[in-house]
Structure 1
């Protein structure tokens, strides 16, 4: 069977990953339209303007996904490309104070004209690419060696610290867990992982106690928001009209929805009660309008993609592909877990969007690149195994 290079690669698309992506993006466009329409109408703007923008973001992001899927995966393993990506990411973070755009009181975005880009969202993806290349040099699992992995450790810690100093403590914590999981997959002792997780919990508990019990005058002003967020996490209704306004109204939205929801477009809390109903809190609007059952279906689609990526990471015989699958899956898992966890009050509010559903081009673009990389790895691997036909499951 003869076929062109383009045709042969298209034969190996993993629809277990691609179909949920399409479904979630379509649901996202609908929910952006529904959740933003009232505020846009109140501002005398077109009720579909944000939904149209989200459609443009989806088309652009899918185009980038296709581009990443088509490139030779070996390009992403070359040291020059890796360090170029790391350098550009670091440069964009450094330039934020000078060219950054302030959104919601935080100066974490760069206006690219087409979309607002958040450099800290690119860091986890670039680190996945870097660590997958760095940790797979031997192509054999072996006990973790600090001397051998000294550079990956320092590069990871370097970016974690810089993201935390933006300030973006939630993003830095997410990157820390992502890096820890990749090091565990490379042969890091599970005992070390357990100690790290216990330490993480102890630090969280101790930090919460210190922030809420002791004077916080010593904290730099830009980190003052941490106190408020920990207070709201402890009691979402501590100040329903002030610091707890967002979280308490998110609770009301989820309560209103019940099992079956009020119906698409019938949300009460989006009518001026819940700030940012189309971004950070869009999942609360999903529950209110579509109900708990349908919203659990949305979560199922996301975690199905995560499970698929982890399964591919376990099944593959090449360490590089394994690290890519596990890194991409963990990145997606952390983002949805942090968004829903902060919505339910298990962790402080973070500002992370719900994958593929929330309004905005930056998050959708990065996650599309993540998925495109995983699809590329899958297709490349399957083409090596089944050179003349579509791959297996």
Structure 2
């Protein structure tokens, strides 16, 4: 009687096989940032929860669950074959799903701080704009690669129509309105287009010229009184003169300055922030870095930024090393995603940019953000694993962290 051989569990076998090749320059900073995020979410939210009659550990428990879910998503994305992200079925259904989610937000979305950005499914809240960032990276990387494989520049090929779809989705995001989300997604698109069809003159004009025109345009409009009223306009006015509007639209930024000033170099100690006691709104999301600065000081903030910088630089390095345009574009898109999101949040906290409601990667409270960030890191680890395997196949020396 023949013995029936059990088919191996390819999922677990693949994870075990790939574990040796994992990129610790990505994984270690990721885990440290997630742990810091759990601690800071708890520290910044416990007092407000108690004041409102809630459980101090409520956000701690939720954020811990999000981190565990994020790690599971990361492991899956790190071991899921990259070629499957390029299948017609995956791109088709992700495009349709993304469009339906953005449309549902406009029709059924919950308005928070003047913007409809959330879909409520009972205890679960989804922020589609977060998923849109990863969608754009994967979708455009495939379209651009196929254009180049056919011997055409992306902007001169039949695949350039994908930019039209991307801008329709951007308009839907801007209509929520979500200025920060639209700006981050637009930055991802611009960098990926420049990386695929680079023209240095246009790049300099676009990357440097456009923000300057917008900045001085808003300054002139505010000085001449052309802009007035409206939640978004008030944020720009507060950005230009926060202390002149300290009791109104500028109160967030003024209290952020107080938190940073109180923290100094070494901080007042974990849990000892004053500004989180009702002075700063959203202390566990938009302004969590102001609380972090107050409690951990400049040293703590710099440590967090260095960990993020390691992840971003590793993404860029992997993109440069890759012989695959598809992988390169994903790495550059992901690096842009992390860089711009960090810059917008820190810029808002420091008053260098208008407050846009953008969260800080891995530190701010939020499930949608954590899942998308984790999935993105997982895909980049996947690329790193493939590069390490390719090195072994061609006989080059392999180091697990190189």
| TM-score, structure 2 normalization | 0.90
Q: Tell me how far apart the structure 2 counterparts of residues 206 and 362 of structure 1 sit (CA, whole Å).
A: 34
Residues 6 and 25 of structure 1: CA distance in aligned 2, closer, same or farther (over 3 Å): closer
Question: Which of residues 268, 272, 275 is equivalent to 1:262?
Answer: 268
Q: Tell me how far apart the structure 1 counterparts of residues 363 and 22 of structure 2 sit (CA, whole Å).
A: 23
Residues 141 and 267 of structure 1: CA distance in aligned 2, closer, same or farther (over 3 Å): farther
Q: Report deviation, 1:382.
A: 2.1
Q: Report deviation, 1:64.
A: 1.4
Q: 1:248 aligned to 2:259?
A: no
Residues 318 and 354 of structure 1: CA distance in aligned 2, closer, same or farther (over 3 Å): same
The corresponding residue for 1:55 is: 64
The corresponding residue for 1:41 is: 50
Q: 1:365 aligned to 2:371?
A: yes
Question: Which of residues 173, 181, 188 is equivalent to 1:171?
Answer: 181
Q: Tell me how far apart the structure 2 counterparts of residues 380 and 133 of structure 1 sit (CA, whole Å).
A: 17
* Higher mean C-alpha deviation, range 196-205 or range 343-352: 196-205
Q: 1:154 aligned to 2:160?
A: no
The corresponding residue for 1:86 is: 95
Residues 177 and 75 of structure 1: CA distance in aligned 2, closer, same or farther (over 3 Å): same
Query: Over residues 322-367 of structure 1, what are the superposed CA-to-partner deviations in whole Å (9 max), with x where a residue is unaligned?
Result: 1111111110111101100111111110001010001111111111
Q: Report deviation, 1:115.
A: 3.4
Q: 1:201 aligned to 2:207?
A: no
Given that 1:32 and 1:50 are in contact with CA atoms closer than 8 Å, whether structure 2 keeps it comes out as: yes
Matches within 5 A, 1:107-146: 107-113=116-122, 115-137=124-146, 138-139=148-149, 145-146=155-156
Question: Which of residues 67, 74, 80 is equivalent to 1:71?
Answer: 80
Q: Alignment partner of 1:136: what SS?
A: helix
The corresponding residue for 1:376 is: 382
Residues 45 and 34 of structure 1: CA distance in aligned 2, closer, same or farther (over 3 Å): same
Query: Over residues 2-36 of structure 1, what are the superposed CA-to-partner deviations in whole Å (9 max), with x where a residue is unaligned?
Result: x9433221221111101111101100111111111
| TM-score, structure 1 normalization | 0.92
Unaligned runs of 5+ in 2: 1-11
Given that 2:14 and 2:79 are in contact with CA atoms closer than 8 Å, whether structure 1 keeps it comes out as: no
Given that 1:174 and 1:334 are in contact with CA atoms closer than 8 Å, whether structure 2 keeps it comes out as: yes
* Higher mean C-alpha deviation, range 378-387 or range 171-180: 378-387
Superposition RMSD in Å: 2.1
Given that 2:22 and 2:401 are in contact with CA atoms closer than 8 Å, whether structure 1 keeps it comes out as: no
Given that 1:28 and 1:357 are in contact with CA atoms closer than 8 Å, whether structure 2 keeps it comes out as: yes
- Number of equivalenced pairs: 386
Q: Tell me how far apart the structure 1 counterparts of residues 227 and 260 of structure 2 sit (CA, whole Å).
A: 33
Q: Tell me how far apart the structure 2 counterparts of residues 106 and 250 of structure 1 sit (CA, whole Å).
A: 22
Q: Report deviation, 1:252.
A: 0.3
Residues 115 and 356 of structure 1: CA distance in aligned 2, closer, same or farther (over 3 Å): farther
Query: Over residues 181-205 of structure 1, what are the superposed CA-to-partner deviations in whole Å (9 max), with x where a residue is unaligned?
Result: 1111112201111121213321332
The corresponding residue for 2:314 is: 308
Q: Alignment partner of 2:171: what SS?
A: helix
